[in-house]
Structure formats: structure tokens, C-alpha cells
Amino acid sequence: MSNNNLKLYFVMRSKVIGGSDPLAVLEGALKGGVTCFQLREKGPDALSGAKLEEFAIQCKSLCKEYGVPFIISGDVDLAVKVGADGIHLEQEEIDFSRVREKLGQNMSLGVSVHTASEAFAAADAGASYIEIGPLFESKEKVNRPTAKLELIREVAFQLPGLPIVGCGGITERKMGSVIRAGASCVAVSSVITDAENPEEAARQLKGQVLLSLTGVEM
């Protein structure tokens, strides 16, 4: 996956706080300019089976309409079955090298890492990008050790060709520090899903990311 697809990475599940229609939220985010979308369907009330497959297909259809890559978190079989653009995995989920063999070279492989050694292992296994976080307090990722911005700097220096996604509690005001550290993209969730107007929230975030990537700060 190129850095062009990794600027504003939106992560969402089927249940949105406040009871909003998740597909409406996703379409608003797509209209607002998110450049990649990940379906992260986890938790006690997560969809499964045919309902999850149906929802994934609906998400994929929306993403295709707006020309945005559709990524599924954790479920390799589902990603392959619905023809997702890629899969994202946590460290504990599976053998990354075996996943790359199953996906082939056309589907992207994202891997969450928390140390430099994990980043190097993911790169060796054929990861298309790595995600580092959580960087700040985040209600989506609780009970996780906080990754420092210094880790992004170290990995960006050691692996200059590998796109880095910063995640975890990133707001519009914090994006600049993440990009300056060496990330090519920021991942967000509740800052869009909880917004009164997801489209406008995504548009403002996208603008700040682009400014940060050019070295301009608001």
C-alpha cells in the first residue's frame, strides 16, 4: 500500500456510540476525505457469521464507490472471502509470514507493533505498513502500554521505506507531532464516529494531515 492511501485512516465497528447508522457515518467519512477504512469488528456485541459478512460487503461497496481501500481487522478468512483490499493484524493474532503467503502480493498486510523488534519482524514478513500506538489516551485501546513518539522516530529511521500509521487518541491538535515524528498517516475512530457531522470532521482532519505532511502547522 502506498503512502497516498495512508494519510487519514478511519477505523470503525458496526456499533456506533449514540446509535448512529454506521454506514451513514462511513459514507460521511468517505465524503470528508478519509483515504483508508478498516472494519474492526470486535467486542462482546460484535457481529459474526452471515451478518458480519453482509456488513463487510456493504462497507466494501461504499469504499469502492469512493475509491478508498477497504481493510478488515483480524479475520483473514473474511477478508479473502469478501475480496477486501487488505487485512490488519495485532501481534497476538497470527503468524504474519503465513498470512502473507495466504494473501499473496495483491492484498495489503498491516501489522500493529509496539517495539522496534516487532516492527523489523513485520517488515521481514512482508507487511505493507505498520501501525504504532497507542500514542495518547484512547477509549478504543484500553489496557495497552503507551507507545512513545520516539518509537516512531526510531522505526522511521531504520525502515525508511515502510509506511507508518500512528494511532491511539489522536486529535486534530496532536496530528502534527505524530507526522513530525515520522508517521505517514494517522488512524482515527471516535473523533469521527462521535462527531455531529462525520463528513465535516473528516474534512477538517484531512486538511490538518495534509498541512502537517507539508510541514505547515495551524
86: cell is: 487488505
Do the beta carbons of residue 202 and residue 32 sit within 8 Å?
A: yes
In the residue annotation, 31 being an active-site residue is answered as no
Which position among 31, 141, 174, 180 bears the catalytic label?
141
Active site residue 81: no
CA 57 – CA 70 distance, rounded (Å): 10
Q: Which of 7, 13, 40, 203 is catalytic?
A: 40
Whether 134 and 95 have beta carbons less than 8 Å apart is answered as no
180 in catalytic set: no
Give CA–CA dist 212/206, Å, rounded: 10
Joined together, the cell numbers standing for residue 26 give 462511513
What is the three-class DSSP state of 204? helix
Q: Spot the catalytic one: 112, 128, 138, 184.
A: 112
Q: Which three cell numbers stand for residue 191?
A: 473523533
Catalytic residue numbers? Answer: 40, 112, 141
